[in-house]
Amino acid sequence: MKKKEEGKLIIIASHLLDNLEKYAARIFLFKEGKLIDVNAIVDGFSESTLTTVRVKNMPEPVQSAFQSRYPAIQVQTLVNGMTLLTLEQKDTATLSELTTYLADCQLHEFSFGKVTLNDLYAMYYHEVV
């Protein structure tokens, strides 16, 4: 961290995604010989805004019913079984309503936050870390 404070550029290549997310100022993924900024994959990834609900193992029928009820919310299921419910902006009233809806559907394994680097990896590479 001392070199960073001195204004030095530090480049780290790593598969330890949690460390990257914790320490890196900017993160790029490498695919087919090209580097891509993670913010180009998920708009605003580097910002820490509460716009995503991460639901573990959301059944397809519940997902379909959810999409009918909340058409403005983007729904994406990753290869690791995590379903991301993404709001366009931080909205505590909608987040509260979603919590109630998920609980009513007997889904109790969910969290609020932003898309994680592990989620982004699964999106971009279609693989589980």
Would you place residue 128 in the very low, low, confident or very high pLDDT band (cuts 50, 70, 90)? low
Q: Which residue has the higher pLDDT, 83 or 1?
A: 83
Residues 6+ apart with CB under 8 A from 80: 118, 122, 128, 129
For residue 105, how many C-alpha atoms fall within 13 Å in the half-sphere facing its CB? 22
pLDDT in tens, 17-72: 877 877 787 888 888 888 888 888 777 677 666 678 999 999 999 999 999 999 98
Query: Average pLDDT, stretch 81-88?
Result: 88
Q: Would you list the DSSP string of 30-44?
A: EETTEEEEHHHHSTT
Q: What domains can be seen in the chain, in order of their start residue?
A: 49-113 (3.30.70)
> Distance between CA atoms of 61 and 21, rounded to whole angstroms?
33
- Report pLDDT for 50: 65
The pLDDT of residue 127 is above 80: no
Q: Which residue has the higher pLDDT, 106 or 3?
A: 106
